[in-house]
Structure 1
Amino acid sequence: MALLQAALLFLCPALLIVAALKDVTSYTIPNWISLALIVGFFPAALALGLPWSSLGLHVGIGVTALVVGMAMFALGWIGGGDAKVFAATALWLGWPASGTFLLATALAGGALAVLLLAMRSMLLRPYVSAGPSWLSRLAEPGENVPYGLAICIGGLAAFPPSALMVRLAGA
């Protein structure tokens, strides 16, 4: 049973990494990734014996994150795929790990912005442009920010102390 629980929990970090790679290389996060995160959460939570009250709290946090993500999307701060994967990740993390998730995502987003500014500078851009096409695109001034990478880093940082991981460790 512990192997099944661990395999179900592995789904979240694996999908976050796929989302980050897709966003960095194509500036899109496919809907199937967010959908797989949402659908995969419920068997993982049930397999780990998450109480119904905690399950409800996780869902509430996920819905709240979706509303916040939609607002950020409406303001043009993040893309639609970013908003969906942000909410799906918050669903997995629950409370109090969602606080760590927010902080780590914000810090990773700031670091990503500084890195992209450096890559897009006149000093580094010629060197970066010599790389693969997806890397050249990242170095284009005025291009979008693949915020899915920051969401992935935040999610991975907050995953170890999450309620589901704590339940696995206690099993």
Structure 2
Amino acid sequence: MVVIVTLIVPFCLALAAISDLFTMKIPNKLSAAILVSFLVFAPLVGLGWADYGMSIAAASAVFAVCFMLFAMNVMGGGDAKLLTATAIWFGFTPALISFLVTVAFVGGFITLIFLLLRANANTAMAMGIRLPASLVTESKIPYGIAIAIGGYLTFQQSPVVNLVLLAAS
């Protein structure tokens, strides 16, 4: 069970990032897998019911903010669902702030990279370098990449992962 709990989220995040890069879409089944895996495994590894409820509350708060950003056309729906599903793993802990801040910084960096690549796309294509459509024709940023990287960098801080690693040692 240790392997499943510690690998399912990073695996789903990787698939989401790749999908977002090449299609500008994040499949709902990836966000659902991240969310359902928390709902199933958190109680099994010993997360207390109060912490379980606080994780659901934290994800709900993240979803509320993401929904407002989506309504203002600032954030895509797939990004909102992926961020919410990943946030549930952190609960209302300092790790959630770490995750969200990391996503924000990585997102800013990725945005700068995409803007630079788009500004120089003609040069790259003239050199025969094939670029994904998300780099050339889209005006939005595939933020799923930032969410995935932020998730990778902070996932070990998740209370559920800490319980799994504690039990494994």
Q: Which residue of 2 aligns with 1:143?
A: 139
Return the TM-score normalized by structure 2: 0.90
Q: Does 1:88 align with 2:72?
A: no
Return the TM-score normalized by structure 1: 0.89
| RMSD over aligned Cα atoms | 1.5
| Residues 35 and 88, structure 2, Cα contact 8 Å, conserved in 1 | yes
Q: Which residues in structure 2 correspond to 1:53-64 (within 5 Å)?
A: 53-64=50-61
| Residues 24 and 134, structure 2, Cα contact 8 Å, conserved in 1 | no
The counterpart of 1:111, out of the listed 104, 109, 134, is: 109
Q: Deviations over 1:58-105 (max 9, x none)?
A: 100111111111111111111000000000000112222110111100
Q: Which residues in structure 2 correspond to 1:153-168 (within 5 Å)?
A: 153-168=149-164
Q: Structure 2 CA distance, aligned partners of 1:47 and 1:65?
A: 24
The counterpart of 1:66, out of the listed 63, 66, 70, is: 63
Identity %, equivalent residues: 32
Query: Deviating runs (4+, > 2 A) in structure 1?
Result: 126-133
The counterpart of 1:17, out of the listed 14, 17, 28, is: 14
1:132 partner letter: R
Q: Which residue of 2 aligns with 1:152?
A: 148
Q: SS in structure 2 opposite 1:78?
A: coil
Q: Does 1:169 align with 2:165?
A: yes
Q: Which residues in structure 2 correspond to 1:7-46 (within 5 Å)?
A: 7-46=4-43
Q: Deviations over 1:1-26 (max 9, x none)?
A: xxx13312311111011111100010
CA 1:137–1:102 in 2, change beyond 3 Å: closer, same or farther?
closer
Structure 1 residues not aligned, in runs of 5+? none
- Residue-pair matches, total: 164
Structure 2 residues not aligned, in runs of 5+? none
Q: Structure 1 CA distance, aligned partners of 2:11 and 2:94?
A: 22
| Residues 21 and 134, structure 2, Cα contact 8 Å, conserved in 1 | no
